[in-house]
Structure 1
Amino acid sequence: MQIIIIEDEKPAARLLQRKVEQLGYQVSKMLHSVEESILWFSANAHPDLIFLDIQLSDGLSFEIFEKVKVQSAIIFTTAYDEYALRAFKLNSIDYLLKPIDEEELKTAVDKFQLQHAKNESLSLNFEQIRSMFAPKEKIYKSRFTVKIGLQLKIIDIEDIECFFSENKGTYIHTFDNRDYLIDTPLEVLEEELNCKKWFRISRKFIVPITCVKEIVVYSNSRLKIILPTYKVEEVIVSREKVSDFKNWMA
């Protein structure tokens, strides 16, 4: 049986090679990158079995198979969590979670041998697997719940003119010129708001692009923003934020 290992961390590749050879098998080749693997597959007969790391130094290993038609069984070696790995079984793909356990390695190879003896082929849907590792679209905050006396009020994000901090508290300022205290600090709000629409202009304010009515050059290379209703104090873009703010507005 011809076996190859595709793993960008050479010590990890050598350790896996030793474990495979302890089971009585020989590793005929070790590859360490997407580019190297594509070149090798293009010039050599495909092996019976590939131990494949998912993330290589120059990209995801799935990119190899965009250039080369898979003719080998694959056992993934990965550090990804179990929730994603369970999906591999839907594609008849086995996997080993790093650090690789010798008993799990033996079970995986035995499984391959059994399928190989029955002449069963592994059906690999690389696009489905790739999608599991694609960046997930982030869900941003769309409404806030505030307490008014004994009642709770829902405020939609579209009704908010700005967020500001005052006396260690964080407030929502709405288009009807009202302020509501919330529990979330500005540091957390920065992560919860869509950065394409909201910008933290200073330690005190987060504003939406839709509410910037006017921008005025202010002292010390700063900018002053005119909002529709908030007039309690000047809304100033801090000097260290000016460049990023201009890029954001553009």
Structure 2
Amino acid sequence: MTIVIIEDEKPAARLLQRKVQQLGYLTTKLLHSVEEALEWFSNNAHPDLIFLDIQLSDGLSFEIFDKIEIKSAIIFTTAYESYALRAFKLNSIDYLLKPIDEEELAVAIAKFKTRLEQKESLSLNFEQIKSMFSTQEKVFKTRFTVKIGAHLKIINSDEIECFYSENKGTYIHTLDNRDYLIDCTLEVLETELDPRKFYRISRKFIVPLNALKEIVVYSNSRLKIILPTYKADDVIVSREKVTDFKNWIS
């Protein structure tokens, strides 16, 4: 089975690739834009399955299908809210809501394999779906699911004091002074969080507006943020982001 991932956020594409590989499948190609996808599909055999992000850096991914007839099966990866996703079911299209859950990924691939074995064809109404997404605003992630032993815990965005990276891991620190490891990078989180409520102040931290207890002038024209409970490290706004950060909190 051949698989292509079309996703403009390279960390998100690599993360999905790793999850697909953990299920025992190899990814043929990672593509990151409409232009790159058009060039690749024009010169290569089309895969059995495409994981397709809706909005790429240079336009909606549906533009690919306006110019090239692609008969591959498609699993959409999207951050749009559920009511819009009902259109996928009407068109017999599978979808995965970001951040992609491993179990849901396995179920989607299994569904595709069943259709492949039964030689079912998918009739995709791209014009209908495109018209929906051209009028919908992006919906941002408002809750996270973390594993605690054999249990799952849901953390709402208003419970989060900060996200931080440490020893190649990414963590949520909550307002009740607890830390939870999550399977996501800060790069991917930047694309999934509402930029009106969350800001990446440095390579190590993303902070929410509602958790800023104090902001203090720091050395080298930087700013130091005091959070309610996080004390493990200094939370510093990097110098190159200070001006933008001030605009964000204004």
TM range (shorter): 0.5 to 0.7
Max radius of gyration: which structure?
A: 1
Partner of 2:78: 78
Partner of 1:196: none
Instruction: Return the letter of the residue paired with 2:108.
Output: A
2:85 is paired with a residue of what secondary structure? helix
- CA deviations on 1:105-142 (whole Å, 9 max, x unpaired) are 00000000000000011111100000111237xxxxxx
* In 1: Cα distance, 2:116 partner to 2:51 partner: 15
1:20 is paired with a residue of what secondary structure? helix
* Residues 93-108 of structure 1: pairs in structure 2 closer than 5 A: 93-108=93-108
Q: CA RMSD in A?
A: 0.8
* Residues 10-159 of structure 1: pairs in structure 2 closer than 5 A: 10-135=10-135
How many residues were matched structurally?
A: 136
* In 2: Cα distance, 1:12 partner to 1:121 partner: 29
1:107 is paired with a residue of what secondary structure? helix
- CA deviations on 1:145-166 (whole Å, 9 max, x unpaired) are xxxxxxxxxxxxxxxxxxxxxx
Instruction: Return the letter of the residue paired with 2:126.
Output: F
After the TM superposition, list the runs of 4 or more consecutive aligned residues in structure 1 that deviate by more than 3 angstroms.
none
* In 2: Cα distance, 1:46 partner to 1:133 partner: 25
- CA deviations on 1:11-35 (whole Å, 9 max, x unpaired) are 0000000000000000010000000
Unaligned runs of 5+ in 2: 137-250
Instruction: Return the letter of the residue paired with 1:77.
Output: T
* In 2: Cα distance, 1:135 partner to 1:12 partner: 25
* In 2: Cα distance, 1:46 partner to 1:4 partner: 9
Q: TM-score, normalised by structure 1?
A: 0.54
Instruction: Return the letter of the residue paired with 1:73.
Output: A
Partner of 2:199: none
Instruction: Return the letter of the residue paired with 1:56.
Output: L
* In 2: Cα distance, 1:91 partner to 1:70 partner: 16
* In 2: Cα distance, 1:134 partner to 1:24 partner: 35
Partner of 2:213: none
Identity of aligned residues (%): 76
* In 1: Cα distance, 2:13 partner to 2:33 partner: 12
Q: TM-score, normalised by structure 2?
A: 0.54
* In 2: Cα distance, 1:79 partner to 1:60 partner: 14
1:27 is paired with a residue of what secondary structure? coil
Instruction: Return the letter of the residue paired with 2:15.
Output: L
* In 1: Cα distance, 2:20 partner to 2:111 partner: 14
* Residues 192-231 of structure 1: pairs in structure 2 closer than 5 A: none
* In 2: Cα distance, 1:35 partner to 1:51 partner: 17
Deviation at 1:88, TM superposition (A): 0.3
* In 2: Cα distance, 1:133 partner to 1:114 partner: 29
* In 2: Cα distance, 1:35 partner to 1:121 partner: 27
